Structure 1
Amino acid sequence: MAFDFIEHSIEQRRTKSLLRRRICIQSSDARYINVDSKRYLNFASNDYLGLGGPVLANDVLSGSRSSSLVTGYLDVHKKLEHALCQLLGYDDAMLFSSGFSANSSVLKALFNEQSVAKDSAIFQDKLNHASLIDGALHSDARHIRFNHNDMNHLRARLEKSNALNKLIVSEGVFSMDGDSAPLAQLHALKQQHNAWLMIDDAHAFGITGKQGLGSAQTQNKPDILVITFGKAMACQGAAVLASHDVIDYLVQVNRDYIYSTAMSPVMAHSALQQLDKVINADDARTQLQQNIALFQQLCANVNIPLLTSNTPIQPIVLGSAENALKAQRKLKEHNIWLTAIRPPTVPHNTARLRVTLTAAHKSDDIHYLVQVLGEVL
């Protein structure tokens, strides 16, 4: 029968422990989460600095009512863009309602003209976020992958390419492994091969560098920087920062931007408030680093292997999806909320528990987490 593939696909995923389910959260913050009237310690939040909470937006319009190129580009949007440019040292910016849209649309838009695409190539880290992969796959440029953080492999790929327009794309901090991109080496390679560098700083902004400026803290800033507001800023939306010419070009050809209603003014207002909190959150960043160090030391004491990461993302690789789900269920029985990350989000045989630490966690929380992990694993 028609569309039988849907039921078949769902059943296959269920059999392989890969079926995804939405869970309705009653309330949550950076430390606790409430589900079905039960409270759990929350180790699955991206609110790394614990800055989430009520935001007052009196007299702010709930909706922008049209796209940014009709009547949707409002004063609050311009203020947010200006604040980001001043803070991060870029000429211009444009706002998106999600980081996924920002990432994917930039790669599609840059190489959307056949005359340009035939002379262009995108070089991506194999562990880049799905939004970056999707953007490149829907681009007309050649899509070339290099092994994760392997600069020798990237160099070889660049040397073999005769493309005129080369764009290297990486994450600042990788969302599933928690490790950081070698920014200095990426910059050196881009200079040697007359390329550009684009960095998705979703999990670095607010966390790494002075004032949490992430990848933009370096003297050699990427040519295109994507900042998302849903992690350390604890709100919603994203911004693409670049030169005036790049932003002007994207305004002309970026279909996601042109044909979408502009970001809600409420969210832009919230992002402005949260941006100020992030750059003044040095105490929270210090506490976060202390929590990361404590977790790593306690795990080492009981021989729980962690991937190499100095960020709030601390993965514990368990191999099979079934093992990861089983561990997740056992942790839940001990009032700990953790997410089992399974393929295709991560490569096959690398299903894992993705522990995310925040500045809001107390020492006792982390001791309890590691104690239970030791029993469960």
Structure 2
Amino acid sequence: MVQADAPGSEAPWSAPLAQALEQLPAERRRQLRSWQPAPEAGLRNCDRGEQPLLDLASNDYLGLACHPALIEAASRCMASEGVGAGASRLVSGNRPVHEQLEAALAQWLGRARVLLFPSGFQANLAAVQALADRRTLVLADRLIHHSLLVGVQASGARLQRFAHNNLTDLQRRLEHARRDAPQRRLLVISESLFSMEGTSPDLVALSALCQRHNAALLLDEAHALGVLGPGGRGLGHGVEGVSLISGTFGKAFGSGGAFLAGDALVGEWLLQHSGPFRYTTALAPPLAAAALAALEQIQQHPSRGAALLERAERWRHRLEAAGWSRPPGRGPILPLLVGSDLRALALQQQLEQAGLLSVAIRPPTVPEGQARLRLVLRHDLPNGSLEQLVCALGMP
């Protein structure tokens, strides 16, 4: 019988973990808190049983996560097909709802092929590995999501990071790469809406630059889909030269899971060669059904995204008028940069005491010295939310 280690003792392999935790400052420690949705865009802290807080933290941009149409679609699917798929898509986990969702997304986005994944992290791993290998040079925006960086590492490609949304820096690097190795495989990675910055690149110029230097372009549209671009189709929609799009259902779609959308060739390569697709249980059918219902909602109400962007502009103007630095970008993500971790945590607590939830974002999620409050607008925020926020924030 194997005995557990005595309290206070550490196995040799665990010593580096314990040391790393000891060195972690208190203001960098994360903790899990349990939340339950409440009416009027609220979240109730299950651990404390307090009054609900107005949700200015989640990525449920269109307020669809608790929409009756999504709940009904997921419930109906669960009643007929169960909860999980039970296997990968290539074994016995492929369901009609998966193919229905893929076909609907392909038509909506104007792409030849869409493949579903259980998570955005998996989708990004698969995307990078499809477009890059150990002979590839990847040029990535300095602020791309961690999952994309892990994908580059897994592909074995060489990585260069260009300054955030700086196409002059990217052009210089592309020109240098082509001079050094004219036939080298090049991949550029960016996002259409950066989740912690609220900023977007000039997609038309970015794509033209990639085409000029014969570089593939991988665009993560996770935070843009449903809100930005024509009919909420993302900023890459209709832009020639975007090789592959990564999208998720856990944000504006109010469900869970993810997808990749590209041409027929890349889609077939993913089906035949992608480990993240092949070796994972298929997306739960109820989540796929909910995502399909969300797509129908987005198509039926295309003005919701535009209205949310207009509201975001009003919030930016009001925050600037109150003395805060104007949050960059034009989407529903409004970061308030405050600098230090302690200041960000203090502001988070200040807002919670006023009935608002906005989480302090600290390194390594953001660069050192750039801690912030990440304010997120939702379609279903009640009237008066902006003034409540400005009052709670006070002077900067």
Give the alignment partner of residue 41 of structure 2, picking from 27, 31, 48: 31
Aligned to 2:360: 340
Query: 2 CA distance for matches of 1:30 and 1:79?
Result: 32
Closer/same/farther in 2, CA of residues 69 and 34 from structure 1, 3 Å limit = same
Q: Is 1:82 aligned to 2:103, yes or no?
A: yes
Q: Which amino acid aligns with 2:123?
A: A
- How does 1:148-163 map onto structure 2 within 5 Å? 148-161=164-177, 162=181
- The CA distance in 1 between the partners of 2:158 and 2:138, in whole Å, is 6
Q: Which residue of 2 aligns with 1:11?
A: 22
| Contact 1:30/1:47 (8 A) holds in 2 | no
Distance 1:184 1:349 in 2: 32
Instruction: Determine which of 31, 46, 50 is the counterpart of 2:59.
Output: 46
CA contact (8 A) 2:211 2:241 kept: no
Could you tell me how far apart the structure 2 residues matched to 1:232 and 1:282 are?
13
Which string of whole-angstrom CA distances, capped at 9 and with x for unpartnered residues, describes residues 291-348 of structure 1? 2122112212211113311111000001111111111111111111111000000000
What whole-Å deviation, never above 9, does each CA across 1:6-36 have from its counterpart, x for those lacking one?
A: 2332232234x11111111122577211113
* Residue 311 (structure 1) aligns with: 331
- One-letter amino acid of the counterpart of residue 168, structure 2: N
Change (3 A) 1:13 1:365: same
Counterpart Cα distance in 2 of 1:370 and 1:6:
41
State the 1:167 CA deviation. 1.2
Where does structure 2 lack aligned partners over 5 or more consecutive residues?
A: 1-9
1:22 to 18, 25, 32: 32
Q: What residue number does 2:3 align with?
A: none
- 2:198 aligned with 1:182: no
TM-score by length of 1: 0.94
Give the Å deviation of 1:156. 1.0
Amino acid at match of 2:205: Q
Residue identity matched to 2:157: A
Q: Secondary structure at the match of 2:89?
A: coil
Q: Which moved more, 1:50-59 or 1:324-333?
A: 50-59
Structure 1 equivalent of residue 6 of structure 2? none
- Point out the more displaced range, 361-370 or 210-219: 210-219
Partners of 2:282 and 2:305 in 1: how far apart?
A: 32
Which shifted more, 48-57 or 167-176? 48-57
The whole-number CA distance in structure 2 between the counterparts of 1:60 and 1:240 is: 24
Q: CA deviation at 1:372?
A: 1.0
Match of 1:63 among 56, 80, 84: 84
Question: Is residue 139 from structure 1 mapped to residue 174 from structure 2 by the alignment?
Answer: no
Moved more, 276-285 or 175-184: 276-285
The residue type equivalent to 2:144 in the other structure is N
Moved more, 289-298 or 120-129: 289-298
1:211-258 Cα shifts (integer Å, max 9, x gaps): 111124334251101111111111111110111111111122211111
Contact 1:104 1:132 (C-alpha < 8 Å) held by counterparts = yes
Partner Cα separation in structure 2 for residue 108 and residue 217 of structure 1: 23
Query: Which residue of the partner structure matches residue 273 of structure 1?
Result: 293
Instruction: Report how far residue 208 of structure 1 moved.
Output: 1.0
Alignment: residue pair count: 370
1:250 to 270, 278, 283: 270
Q: Aligned equivalents of 1:7 and 1:194: distance in 2?
A: 47
> Tell me, what secondary structure is at the counterpart of 2:54?
strand
Q: Distance in 2 between matches of 1:217 and 1:90?
A: 9
Question: What are the within-5 Å matches in structure 2 for residues 204-223 of structure 1?
Answer: 204-220=224-240, 222-223=242-243
Calculate the TM-score normalised by the size of structure 2. Answer: 0.89
- DSSP-derived class of the 2:107 partner: helix
1:290 aligned to which of 301, 310, 322: 310
How much does 1:259 deviate?
Answer: 0.8
Q: Which runs of 5+ in 1 are unaligned?
A: none
| Aligned equivalents of 1:30, 1:342: Cα separation in 2 | 28
Give the SS at the match of 2:231: helix
1:164 corresponds, among 166, 184, 189, to: 184
The aligned residue for residue 125 of structure 2 is: 104
What is the CA-CA distance between 1:159 and the residue it aligns to? 1.1
Moved more, 101-110 or 348-357: 101-110
Query: Aligned with 1:81: secondary structure?
Result: helix
Q: Which amino acid aligns with 2:356?
A: I
Q: How far apart, CA to CA, are the structure 2 residues paired with 1:191 and 1:111? A: 16
Residue pair 2:223, 2:252 contacting (<8 A) in 1 also: yes
Shift of 1:281: 2.5
**Distance (whole Å) between structure 1 residues aligned to residue 116 and residue 195 of structure 2:** 21
Deviation at 1:283, TM superposition (A): 3.8
The whole-number CA distance in structure 2 between the counterparts of 1:213 and 1:100 is: 20
CA contact (8 A) 1:232 1:278 kept: no
CA contact under 8 A between 2:131 and 2:216: conserved in structure 1? no
